[in-house]
Structures are given as C-alpha cells and as structure tokens.
Amino acid sequence: MNKNAITLILALSLGLSACGSPNDQVPLSQAPLAGAAIGGPFTLTDQDGKQRSYSEFDGKYRIIYFGYTNCPDICTPDLQHLMAGLSQFEKANPELAGKVQPLFITVDPQRDTPAILKQFVTAFHPRLIGLTGSEDQIAAAAKSFAVYYQKMEGSSPDAYLMSHSQTPFLMGPDGKPLALMPADTPNTEANEGDPKLVVAELTKWVR
C-alpha cells in the first residue's frame, strides 16, 4: 500500500466519521480498511520487559502506532491527541473504551529499550503499551502492517532520525484492520490534532 493510497483511505475514513451520527452502527465489514492485508502476528517486548504477542489482545480493538521516542515533530503530537481522544472516549463510554488497547511500536529498537519506552508511553496514557524488540522482529511487524521506515544517518552514530509512515491503525477484535485513526489533524485553534476526531472514529467502530 503506497502513501497516496493510505492518504485516500484516511480521507474517506474521516469523511464517513464526519457524516455519520454517533449512534450509527455501520457493519464492521464495511469499515474503510476491511479486507486489507494489514496486520499479523508478532511477539515483542513491552516497557516492563515482558514478552507480548499480538494474539493476546484478541477480543479487543487495538490502536496501533509505529514511531520512535526521539521523533522530533510527529510522534509526540500524534500520540498526544490519539491518547487525549481515547481519554475523552473513556469518560463518555467507559465500558466500550475498556475494549480498546493502545499499542506503540518503536521503529528504533537500537535506542528504544524497555526503560526508555516506559518513560515515554507513561506520559501519554496509563494503558498505552510500548513495544520493542530485535531489528528483525520490528522489521517483520512493520512489514505486516504495511509500515515504511528508514534510518537517516546523522552527525554521529547516535544522532540519527527515522523516517517512517504516519499511520495509526484501528484494528478490530479479530485483529484485522478497520480504519486509520486521524493523526496530526490541525484544528482552528492550535496546530495540533483534534481529539474529538479520535472520539468520533472510536464511536463509529467500537461496539
């Protein structure tokens, strides 16, 4: 899936959210990413050093975001508004929100150790799980989610950036893709994502 296709899917997904009322029950089979070859099994290490598999979250909706803790201008605002939206959804629909598990998967396993991830994810939401692993494990997970990333060499071995896809996925209870969550969507008051768009997307699909 190329970047243009992902952008189009996101636009369609947001359009459906904006047009529907909160009580709409569109079948999950009609979700924007239904049937897409996105997602697959993985076993990675969380911020507490525990092995976590994709299948252990079966039965829950999953917000999955690939990024890295040293990301200078994308990952932090994306996670801030994704998790702010999840928090708002929790207040309005605590039972439904309990069915949603957010996951942050690093594309920089060289620097993002479990200890670093723990400091990072706890700043956004108490239930956000950070995942790391070997370079091969991360590469396999990213490939299964159609996520692109590439190391951009810097002025020293540790001073590098990671170019990566900006694609927060909402996965269904069966682990299959439903929609792209809105990321880095500016509102009229500040240059940041609007959590209400996240709430709208969760309201549309989580049941």
Q: Which of 86, 111, 80, 91 is nearest to 192 (CA)?
A: 80
Identify the pLDDT of residue 165: 94
Identify the pLDDT of residue 205: 97
CATH code for residues 3-205: 3.40.30.10
Kindly list the domain boundaries of the chain, sorted by start residue. Answer: 3-205
Backbone φ and ψ for 63, nearest 5 degrees, come out as -95, 120
Identify the pLDDT of residue 16: 42
Identify the pLDDT of residue 207: 96
8 Å CB contact between 102 and 84: no
In the chain, which stretches have pLDDT less than 70?
A: 1-24, 184-193
Q: How far is CA 181 from the centre of its chain?
A: 7
Alpha helices in 20-129 (DSSP H): 75-92, 94-97, 114-121
The total of other beta-carbon atoms located within 10 Å of residue 153's CB is: 9
Chain segment 85-128, per-residue pLDDT in tens: 999 999 999 999 999 999 999 999 999 999 999 999 999 999 99
Identify the pLDDT of residue 24: 56
